[in-house]
Amino acid sequence: MKKWLVGLAVVMALLWCGSAMAETCVPIANWNFEDQTEFVATGTGGGGGQTGYFVGAGFSSSYTALNPASTGSWTLGPEKYYTIGSNPHDYHSAWGNFGAYSGSKMMIINALNPSQTSGGTIIWEETVAVNPYTMYLFSYQFALSHPSAPPQLRVLINGVDVGLFDSSDPLLGLEVGEWYKVPLTPWFSYGATQATIQLIDQTIVAFGDDFCIDDIEFCMTSSLPPGFCTAGTELVMGRKHVPVGSVNILTDANGDMFVTYTITDPEWCFTELHLQVGGPFPLTKKGNAIPGKFEYNYVADGCETSHTFTIPAGPLATANICIAAHAALRGPEIACPDGVIGSCYEDATGWGLGTDFPGSDWSMKFCFPACQLPQ
Ligand SMILES: [Ca+2]
Ligand SMILES: [Ca+2]
């Protein structure tokens, strides 16, 4: 292949990756209500139908669950009830006659009234595993089953309010039975490894406030929210700069910074980390960095492969930032010297790859432009 053709192919590949990345949202969960079929009845509800619980529903709710088999003109008449059914009209004669967004089932809800806020207000709740310092998007399909009091629905993730959907917005002009995809709500996980997602109604009236949801989705995306930015470098070992992992820096919209060390070489881990963000860097008279005097320090529980430091926002966030990231590395087990009892390992020094301090050792710092923070 001619050289310029190769070049063109590379450029095309990069462009392709760029556009694909921008739209990537890898589903980690999709709740379409198709699998929740088995219902265990434990009582009789205020509308005459059976109440109880769904087996393996995969979510929880503070609302009373109605048996989908308990169809009738008013079985979902009592407030703070829900079922998983195929048509809201099957459970309330005043509700719209329409089908699920996906498949044949949806969550059909008669939201709570003002006297029912005790015992929880959660319509739907689920906890899923997430990756730390990763962006997620949450969304769901919504349809009114009665025209009165279109609800305002709020999403909480790990107890934090992440978004409000107002189905009464006249610009939407939603009609009964019209499915609408609620705009994607971005959520950043920070250090969390789990996300507890809660959907609540905050309209809280008896007449109306009746609706259905389907295809709840929560997915991971490579995009970052506005005001966030990232930087990073390799974590290298020894004077020969052998790569063993990475040092990644994430700055959020508040200017808080998260510095994550990750070891990717399976033979190595770290026992201690020392981090200095911004100068002045503690140096010997000869100009070598003194990691033991850095501002941020971490002693591993034995030997670890990942750790994140949280650096609160400060004046640093307005300029170029320099970071010195040191790691005490431990490698493969080796024979112990005579007289030493126990386990012995190869050890080495690691630094975030950058430019050398003036001294003769190979201690380094690396610099990157600060985020442009919103004013
Ligand atoms: Ca469905
Ligand atoms: Ca109602």
Instruction: Report the pLDDT value the prediction gives residue 57, as an integer from 0 to 100.
Output: 83
Its sign, for the CA torsion 281, 284, 289, 292, is negative
Alpha carbon of 304 to ligand 1 centroid (Å): 43
Alpha carbon of 6 to ligand 1 centroid (Å): 47
Cα(94)–Cα(91) distance, rounded to whole angstroms? 9
Instruction: Report the pLDDT value the prediction gives residue 22, as an integer from 0 to 100.
Output: 45
Using one digit for the tens of pLDDT, what is the confidence trace for 175-195? Answer: 999 999 998 888 999 889 999
Instruction: Report the pLDDT value the prediction gives residue 248, as an integer from 0 to 100.
Output: 94
Alpha carbon of 118 to ligand 2 centroid (Å): 17
142 belongs to a structural domain: yes
171 belongs to a structural domain: yes
Alpha carbon of 84 to ligand 1 centroid (Å): 9
Task: Please compute the mean of the pLDDT values over residues 45-54 and round it to a whole number.
Answer: 96
Tell whether 208 and 235 lie within a shared domain: no
Q: What is the mean pLDDT of the chain?
A: 90
Proximal ligand: closest to the CA of 209: 2
Tell whether 36 and 137 lie within a shared domain: yes
CATH of residue 275? 2.60.40
Tell me which residue of 281, 300, 278 sits closest to 291, measured CA to CA. 281
Q: What separation in angstroms does the CA of 255 have from each of 134, 228, 233?
A: 17, 8, 20
Lowest mean pLDDT among 66-75, 312-321, 333-342: 312-321
297 belongs to a structural domain: yes
Cα(84)–Cα(210) distance, rounded to whole angstroms? 14
Question: Which neighbouring-strand residues pair with 100?
Answer: none
Give Cβ neighbours of residue 8 (< 8 Å, ≥ 6 apart): none
Instruction: Report the pLDDT value the prediction gives residue 45, as an integer from 0 to 100.
Output: 96
Alpha carbon of 8 to ligand 2 centroid (Å): 61
- How does residue 19 score in pLDDT terms, banded at 50, 70 and 90? very low
Tell whether 206 and 109 lie within a shared domain: yes
Alpha carbon of 126 to ligand 2 centroid (Å): 24
- How does residue 369 score in pLDDT terms, banded at 50, 70 and 90? confident
CATH of residue 162? 2.60.120.260
Whether 304 and 330 have beta carbons less than 8 Å apart is answered as no
Number of domains in the chain: 2
Alpha carbon of 91 to ligand 1 centroid (Å): 17
Task: Please compute the mean of the pLDDT values over residues 33-47 and round it to a whole number.
Answer: 91
Instruction: Report the pLDDT value the prediction gives residue 16, as an integer from 0 to 100.
Output: 34
Tell me which residue of 149, 209, 152, 212 sits closest to 177, measured CA to CA. 212
Its sign, for the CA torsion 205, 180, 133, 128, is positive
Domain end point (choices 197, 221, 245): 221
Tell whether 186 and 267 lie within a shared domain: no
Alpha carbon of 363 to ligand 2 centroid (Å): 67
Residue 207 has pLDDT above 70, yes or no: yes
Tell whether 177 and 257 lie within a shared domain: no
Tell whether 206 and 154 lie within a shared domain: yes
Tell whether 243 and 217 lie within a shared domain: no
Give Cβ neighbours of residue 14 (< 8 Å, ≥ 6 apart): none
5 belongs to a structural domain: no
Task: Please compute the mean of the pLDDT values over residues 162-185 and round it to a whole number.
Answer: 95
Residue 330 has pLDDT above 50, yes or no: yes
Give Cβ neighbours of residue 267 (< 8 Å, ≥ 6 apart): 331, 332
Instruction: Report the pLDDT value the prediction gives residue 13, as an integer from 0 to 100.
Output: 35
Residue 69 has pLDDT above 80, yes or no: yes
Task: Please compute the mean of the pLDDT values over residues 280-295 and round it to a whole number.
Answer: 96
Could you give the maximum distance between any two Cα atoms of the chain, in Å?
87
Residue ranges making up the domain that contains 358: 229-369
Domain end point (choices 191, 221, 251): 221
237 belongs to a structural domain: yes
Using one digit for the tens of pLDDT, what is the confidence trace for 24-37? Answer: 788 888 899 998 66
- How does residue 321 score in pLDDT terms, banded at 50, 70 and 90? confident
Whether 202 and 155 have beta carbons less than 8 Å apart is answered as no
Give Cβ neighbours of residue 284 (< 8 Å, ≥ 6 apart): 290, 359
Instruction: Report the pLDDT value the prediction gives residue 36, as an integer from 0 to 100.
Output: 67
Instruction: Report the pLDDT value the prediction gives residue 317, as an integer from 0 to 100.
Output: 55
Cα(30)–Cα(214) distance, rounded to whole angstroms? 10
Cα(80)–Cα(203) distance, rounded to whole angstroms? 12
Other Cβ atoms less than 10 A from the Cβ of 339: the count is 5
Tell whether 106 and 197 lie within a shared domain: yes
Tell whether 256 and 123 lie within a shared domain: no
Its sign, for the CA torsion 151, 155, 160, 162, is negative
- How does residue 320 score in pLDDT terms, banded at 50, 70 and 90? confident
Domain end point (choices 221, 239, 255): 221
Tell whether 217 and 108 lie within a shared domain: yes
Task: Please compute the mean of the pLDDT values over residues 105-116 and round it to a whole number.
Answer: 95
Cα(276)–Cα(220) distance, rounded to whole angstroms? 31
Task: Please compute the mean of the pLDDT values over residues 150-169 and round it to a whole number.
Answer: 95
Cα(348)–Cα(269) distance, rounded to whole angstroms? 10
Proximal ligand: closest to the CA of 212: 1
16 belongs to a structural domain: no
Tell whether 179 and 30 lie within a shared domain: yes
318 belongs to a structural domain: yes
Residue 134 has pLDDT above 80, yes or no: yes
How far apart, in Å, do the first and last CA atoms of the chain sit? 50
Tell whether 80 and 118 lie within a shared domain: yes
- How does residue 220 score in pLDDT terms, banded at 50, 70 and 90? very high
2 belongs to a structural domain: no
Proximal ligand: closest to the CA of 106: 1
Instruction: Report the pLDDT value the prediction gives residue 2, as an integer from 0 to 100.
Output: 43
Residue 356 has pLDDT above 80, yes or no: yes
Instruction: Report the pLDDT value the prediction gives residue 316, as an integer from 0 to 100.
Output: 56
CB burial string 281-301: b at 16+ within 10 A, e below: bbbeeeebbebeebeeebebe
Alpha carbon of 374 to ligand 1 centroid (Å): 40
Residue 21 has pLDDT above 60, yes or no: no
Alpha carbon of 350 to ligand 2 centroid (Å): 62
